[in-house]
Copies of this chain bind each other. A is one copy, B any other.
Amino acid sequence: MILGILPGVEKMYREKIKVLDCTIRDGGLINNYHFTTDLVKAVYRAACDSGIDIIEIGKKLCESDEYTREKYGKWNFCDEDDIKQVVESHECENPPILAVMYDVDRVDVSSLLPSDQSVIGMVRTACYVLDIDKGLDLVKRSKDLGYQTTINIMASSAAIETELIEALEQVNNVAEVDYLYLVDSYGAFYSEQVTSYLNLYKEHAPNKELGFHAHNNQQLAFSNTQQAIIDGVNLLDTTINGIGRGAGNCNLELLLNFLKNPKFDVRPIYKTIQEHLVPLRKEMEWGFNDIYGISGHLNQHPRDAMKQRANAEIRDDCYDFLLEATS
């Protein structure tokens, strides 16, 4: 494989690479986390049986009178008991680490159990460049409770470089950050941008292991993830069948085929696609289409594209969308 170009690599695969499945967490952005428990169990089982390293099962946000489990789905809150119900549904010899996502300003760290009392093993904090201090505070407090941590800087393609560099330098000095993520929130990167941003990350945060999270607006989520591997990234985000907001993510099954690490088995993933994701595609939409392609090329937040896709009358009017977006 491509890793053969790295000095001293004698196998078809790179042992250090870890795969994170965020099927439920990123897919939940489409349906407000209203997955059935059966679906979540099936995804957990697939992650177990295929040897995935980490599974992110949702967000862990604060409940409130406006922000309820009924309206926003239980995987927006990831209560211990809900996760336990899933974990206990399937026996697993080497279970994946369970991760949840934290959003700045929407969580309550004081309600987080110490990690040794929780089924959760990793807390991933998502924030924009300008919220990096808030994000790093959450990382520190999660780490203090014993969790593995990541900081996922969103929309890096839309950040001003001097500010991004400042954020990276701060991250570099926070020992509690285990992984620093490059996130292509808008699906705007070509492979050259993956490389140039990663070079920036390596230059200004040399102490940190890197992760990469792609979006598939231009049919480049999988290839950009390969580029991140070439550039030395060892933690890779994927979802089953590429499910995820807008154009979706890097397809887990395609990546496992590419990685060739014998610890992975792609068959349980395809089984889950056939049995659970194919029916789900009738209810939910994800994946590349023309509108998202334009949105990605223009380095735009996907909200306008998603709005157009949600309107049955104009959902395929890509020419109109292009004119509007560039007017």
Contacts and interface: CB of A to CB of B under 8 A. Distances in A.
Contacts of A239: none
Nearest to A323: B267
Contacts of A273: 290, 318-319
Nearest to A224: B223
Given A274-B317, A290-B273, A293-B253, A267 B322 contact: yes
A284 interface: no
Q: How many copies does the complex hold?
A: 2
A111 B216 CA distance: 47
A220 B222 contact: yes
A257 B187 CA distance: 14
A60 to B, nearest CB: 31
Contact of A192 (B2, B219, B294): B2
Contacts of A319: 267, 270-271, 273-275
Interface string A257-276: 11000000011001101110
A2 B190 contact: yes
Interface string A197-230: 0000000000000000000101111111011000
A278 interface: yes
Interface string A283-327: 000001010011001000000000000000000111110110000
Interface in A169-186: none
